[in-house]
Structure 1
Amino acid sequence: MPTQLVQDNHANDVRVKTVYNGEVMITYIKHNITLEEFTQEMIAICRFLPDQVFTMKWVDEEGDPCTISTQLELDEALRLYELNRDSSETTLQVP
């Protein structure tokens, strides 16, 4: 189930703005989320079919899209989010 509607205090979570098909959705994820959990979250939020192929990208501080296809890439996106937490939010593009 997508966590975008959960009303808990998200002070320690990562705020993710997801842009897909002209819609902008906000969700919160834990810092230690696995790639599989993150992928399932995006499938639920974007209402993809379970076997639908898609690409996840995050937008870095310079505005460049960076693909998330491995746990290492997701961990790096979360690490950089934490470094820039006061000045940015994580934006995820699902082309």
Structure 2
Amino acid sequence: MTGPRAFRFWVSGRVQGVGFRWFVRRAALGLDLTGRVRNLPDGRVEVEAAGPPERLETFRQTLREGPPGARVTRLDELELSGVPAWDGFDIDR
């Protein structure tokens, strides 16, 4: 069994002003992941999430789909070198 991992995702497309951050938070909490999500000035959404690899894979698929009204055109990711000690899943403003 593999231990928890952490990733930073950048989601591009129509992802701001469509409830994307709230969608991400609900999905993460439903999978018992920790982390945070925020809008970036360039129109992308940045997501940092940590948890078991199989749940992160489900989360990755959820990010690609997005909520109704969103249109994800690109998903980039970077595995973080450690697993931050986040408590819950926050929406940064």
Task: Calculate the TM-score normalised by the size of structure 2.
Answer: 0.33
Task: Calculate the TM-score normalised by the size of structure 1.
Answer: 0.33
More strand by share: 2
